[in-house]
């Protein structure tokens, strides 16, 4: 089999490319090029064949297939991508890959999860082909004590990537939900594997609402898609092409410039400076969200001036500086294995 990603990369240069030119670039025959072009068309690529002149790429598919991602990253990066049409959970598959040595940036992506989950074990609703569902292997050089900031770094990277792809800005709700005008566009789950007080590897799972025009009535007031929020008309593949490198860059920033990463998170935060309620604990707590500490815990100041730090719980956001709370979301920042 010829390198289909390289074929697409050559065609993305624009104009007609002859079968002979493609064959020379790949070191295969024109007959093999024709066979691979037919396979790419069958996978959803729109490629026009002009007799006697060559092939022209009309459009790449929405689906983040490995060959499509290779073409989008050509000359910039080379992250292994594993696409599964349907899977129980991308987190499970990516975790298995991480345990056998998959490199940072290795990504598992699917059209549909049958057992997808968010924080606190909640299910994730994903009509096939509407959301971007991916899990990325991370290998951060971090001590266990600094791992609480890893999910927050992933959120910063994802927010930066979405801004790059859409031109729009999402806010981060502690620790790692991405919101547009109070409605959830993306959720993130990070699972860690620790060894001798160091992070051996991690897996960051992301679910991003991309193409949905509407949501089920029970969540319609709390959910939004990139299409609804920013009139996004790009593909899920193009979005993933932004997300993977930006997430890895944010993790590197956490390693090398933690103050800068924390500053970036605070600038994107829609939690700090607002009244919040922390639910689901032995005793509910309310107060003003004033900071996130060195362990990634949310610091809340009660009316009597006492400050407490929370690493887990269910938070609801209220008004800036005061008022009641609403819009709850679960908030343990990570799961250790």
- pLDDT one-digit tens code per residue, 117-169: 555 545 555 678 999 999 999 999 999 989 999 999 999 999 999 999 999 99
**pLDDT tens figures, 176-233:** 899 999 999 999 999 999 988 899 999 999 999 999 999 999 999 999 999 999 999 9
The average pLDDT across 61-69 equals 97
Least confident of 131-145, 234-248, 313-327: 313-327
pLDDT of 328 above 60: no
Domain edges within the chain: 4-59, 66-268, 274-336
Alpha carbon distance 41, 165 (integer Å): 25
DSSP states of 78-126 as a string? ---EEEEEEES-HHHHHHHHHHTTPPTT-EEEEEEESS-B-GGG-B---
> Residue 164 CB: number of other CB atoms within 10 A?
14
pLDDT of 332 above 50: no
Q: Which of 73, 66, 71, 13 is nearest to 43 (CA)?
A: 66
Question: What does the pLDDT read at residue 326?
Answer: 42
Alpha carbon distance 72, 35 (integer Å): 22
Alpha carbon distance 330, 219 (integer Å): 15
Least confident of 22-31, 43-52, 111-120: 111-120
Alpha carbon distance 278, 201 (integer Å): 29
**pLDDT tens figures, 256-269:** 999 999 999 999 99
Alpha carbon of 79 to those of 66, 141, 165, 187, 245: distances in Å? 9, 19, 19, 22, 9
The average pLDDT across 237-254 equals 98
Residue with tokens 């309310």: 286
Reported as a pLDDT band with limits 50, 70 and 90, residue 101 is very high
pLDDT of 335 above 60: no
Tell which CATH architecture fits domain 66-268. Answer: 2-Layer Sandwich (3.30)
The average pLDDT across 38-52 equals 96
Give helix 30-42 / helix 4-12 axis angle, nearest 10°: 90
> Contact, 208 vs 185, CB < 8 A?
yes
Give me the CATH code for the 274-336 domain, please.
2.30.30.100
Cis peptide leading into residue 175 (ω within 30°) = yes
Mean pLDDT of the chain: 90
Q: Which one is the CATH code of 4-59: 1.10.10.10, 3.40.50.300, 3.40.1160.10, 1.20.1270.10?
A: 1.10.10.10
Reported as a pLDDT band with limits 50, 70 and 90, residue 329 is very low
In percent, the amount of the chain with pLDDT more than 70 equals 90
Beta-strand pair 81-87/107-113: parallel
């Amino acid at each position: 089999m010829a390198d289909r990603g390289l074929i697409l990369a050559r065609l993305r240069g624009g104009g007609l490319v002859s079968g002979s030119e493609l064959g020379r670039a790949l070191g295969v025959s024109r007959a093999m090029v024709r066979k691979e072009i037919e396979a790419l068309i069958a996978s959803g690529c729109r490629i026009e064949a002009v007799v006697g002149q060559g092939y022209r790429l009309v459009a790449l598919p929405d689906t983040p297939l490995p060959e499509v991602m290779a073409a989008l990253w050509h000359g910039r990066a080379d992250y292994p991508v594993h696409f599964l049409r349907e899977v129980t959970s991308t987190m499970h598959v990516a975790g298995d890959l991480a345990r056998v040595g998959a490199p940072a940036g290795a990504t598992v992506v699917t059209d549909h999860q049958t057992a997808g989950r968010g924080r606190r074990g909640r299910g994730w609703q994903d009509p096939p082909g509407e959301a971007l569902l991916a899990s990325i292997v991370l290998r951060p050089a971090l001590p266990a004590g600094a791992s609480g900031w890893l999910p927050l770094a992933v959120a910063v990277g994802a927010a930066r990537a979405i801004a790059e792809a859409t031109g729009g800005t999402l806010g981060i709700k502690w620790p790692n939900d991405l919101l547009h005008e109070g409605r959830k566009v993306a959720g993130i789950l990070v699972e860690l594997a620790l060894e001798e007080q160091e992070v051996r590897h991690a897996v960051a799972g992301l679910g991003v609402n991309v193409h949905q025009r509407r949501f089920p009535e029970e969540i319609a007031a709390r959910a939004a898609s990139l299409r609804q929020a920013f009139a996004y008309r790009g593909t899920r593949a193009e979005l993933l092409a932004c997300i993977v490198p930006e997430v890895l860059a944010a993790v590197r920033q956490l390693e090398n410039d933690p103050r800068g990463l924390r500053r970036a998170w605070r600038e994107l935060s829609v939690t700090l400076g607002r009244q919040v309620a922390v639910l689901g604990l032995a005793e509910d707590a309310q107060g003003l969200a004033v900071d996130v500490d060195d362990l990634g815990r949310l610091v809340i100041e009660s009316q009597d001036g006492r400050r407490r730090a929370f690493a887990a719980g269910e938070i609801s956001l209220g008004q800036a500086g005061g008022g009641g709370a609403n819009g709850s979301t679960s908030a343990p920042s990570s799961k250790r294995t």
